[in-house]
Amino acid sequence: MLNKIFNFIRPGSKPSRPAKLNIIPRDHHPVSRKKISPNAVKVLYRLNNAGFDAFLVGGGVRDIYLNDTPKDFDIATNATPEEVRSLFGNCRLIGRRFRLAHVRFGREIIEVATFRAGHDKVEESSVQAATNQEGQILRDNVYGNQQEDALRRDFTVNALYYSVADFSVYDYVGGVQDLEDRLLRLIGDPATRYREDPVRMLRAARFSAKLDFAIESATAAPIEELAPLLLNIPSARLFEEVLKLFLSGQGFRTFSILRELGLFKFLFPGADDLLEAGAPYAEKLLTAALKNTDSRINANKPVTPAFLYATMLWPEVLQNKTVYTEQGLPPLPATHKAAQIVIEQQIKHTALPRRFSQPMKEIWELQERLVKRQGRRAEALLEHPRFRAAYDFLLLREQSGEQLEGLGDWWTEFQQSDPNHRLKLQEKTSGKSGKPRRPRRPRHRPRKRD
Ligand code: ATP
Ligand code: MG
């Protein structure tokens, strides 16, 4: 049903691999040095002047073609990582799966990758490459030429090369045509390419949402069946992908596409169960949270994985908490216990580093504490480092249909009030929620001596 709304799967008109290299001269494409980061241009020229081939490739070329601002700039070269390192003082070699050179300029890192061969060639030479039984590539360090490098990339639109030697764009896979057609097409046989690296399925959803491109039908077809291969991906890598999927400004759209393709359940299985069961609250909460996150990102406001995970997992926490309170646990311990179980389940799928799980738990815990606002508690809560996130979270919960007796409005008003009005607000709450105020004992006055 969602693909009707987004129309995100579409048959392609041309075969996936035109055999011939298409070289697009400078006056027929929009990529210019002005649109490339000066540091990336520097790296390209230094490699070039040292006698190596060097190209801007991937998202850098793609986004400039689409008149977007690239997020980062990747360079491909025939120089080996060691040769790259010898040319740049500010260079580090990284990576096990892919060996890469990172050239650092202050906060900007330019990634330089040596041309690599695809998996076919890898199997023949086999020394440095390995796959598991599912066909997944474990190591992939067999160097190749530019054409081989193009063929081992994921989507045609990600395999365009811009040269500072002649300012042309090199297209081995029909990427320019697909850019014009706004089509995401995997290079080669889709099922094989997903087996090599199941994360490519997530990338299809991500780029489709980010670029507003349709996924070519043959590229979309195997996803439903192969989605369980994501279970073989280390949870730390999936965590990185989750951040790119949901914290890049198109989170809601990505979420819809992931669900339609049957991928979401391999990232957040608990949330997916509730969504599939038709829990209207879960649907509303995740929709509101992701849309809210998107608008924050697009307004250059900060977002955090802690808040994202807090919302993604909240419907499950709530469900578990209800069970525990029915068993007689008070709200706060029930929340704690529910949180623990939900986190334990989730990190089997996508990791969640402690620096994010800790603040996430605080956001949840504060949901209980925000109810109890008598006396000095309310003022003290305002000072809590996580108050703002917890308050935003509370508003989302209410927006999504949780009945909280106007708690969100109360906190909104409380924050905007002067001390006198704050006192009045607090008087109104006494006895309403949380523990009722104990009647004050009469002050003990020392007895007058006669
Ligand atoms: P963005 O940086 O905007 O997210 P990108 O296309 O630059 O998009 P990166 O993850 O930076 O994506 O990767 C750079 C390039 O490396 C891609 O454009 C693609 O050519 C290649 N690539 C990345 N990941 C894969 C993969 N899993 N399989 C094959 N090729 C890949
Ligand atoms: Mg990139």
CB 427 within 8 A of CB 407: no
Decide whether any atom of ligand 1 lies within 6 Å of the 58 Cβ.
yes
CB 339 within 8 A of CB 282: no
> Quick one: which ligand is closest to 201's CA?
1
CB 151 within 8 A of CB 174: no
d(CA 81, CA 93): 7
pLDDT tens digits, 211-247: 999 999 999 999 999 999 999 999 999 999 999 999 9
Domain 17-184 belongs in CATH node 3.30.460.10: yes
Backbone angles phi, psi at 140, to 5 degrees: -155, 70
- Which of helix, strand or coil describes residue 102? strand
Active site residue 74: yes
> Quick one: which ligand is closest to 203's CA?
1
Is 427 exposed, middle or buried, given 0-12, 13-18 or 19+ CB atoms closer than 10 A?
A: exposed
Decide whether any atom of ligand 1 lies within 6 Å of the 199 Cβ.
yes
DSSP state of 143: B
Q: How far, rounded to the nearest angstrom, does the alpha carbon of residue 286 sit from its chain's CA centroid?
A: 15
Query: In CATH, which superfamily holds the domain spanning 280-430?
Result: cca-adding enzyme, domain 2 (1.10.3090.10)
- Protein residue with least CA distance to atom 11, ligand 1: 59
**How much distance in Å is there from the Cα of 59 to the middle of ligand 1?**
7
d(CA 49, CA 399): 59
Decide whether any atom of ligand 1 lies within 6 Å of the 119 Cβ.
no
CB 207 within 8 A of CB 1: no
The structure tokens listed for 83 are 């040769």
Predicted confidence at residue 330, as pLDDT, reads 95
Candidate from 149, 153, 187 with most ligand 1 atoms within 8 A of CB, to mutate: 153
Predicted confidence at residue 433, as pLDDT, reads 47
Dihedral over alpha carbons 319, 320, 325, 331 (to 10 degrees): -90
The structure tokens listed for 123 are 């199997």
Predicted confidence at residue 136, as pLDDT, reads 78
- Protein residue with least CA distance to atom 27, ligand 1: 200
Predicted confidence at residue 201, as pLDDT, reads 98
Catalytic residue among 63, 149, 154, 392: 154
Catalytic residue among 63, 74, 197, 294: 74
Active site residue 154: yes
d(CA 381, CA 383): 5
Decide whether any atom of ligand 1 lies within 6 Å of the 72 Cβ.
yes
Candidate from 66, 74, 109, 160 with most ligand 1 atoms within 8 A of CB, to mutate: 74
DSSP state of 166: T
**104, 46, 110: which is closest to 79 by C-alpha?**
46
CB 410 within 8 A of CB 381: no
CB 262 within 8 A of CB 221: no
**310, 279, 277, 281: which is closest to 293 by C-alpha?**
310
Predicted confidence at residue 134, as pLDDT, reads 77
d(CA 368, CA 389): 14
pLDDT beneath 70, residues of the chain: 1-6, 13-19, 97, 119-130, 138-141, 430-450
d(CA 404, CA 370): 11
Predicted confidence at residue 121, as pLDDT, reads 52
CB 395 within 8 A of CB 289: no
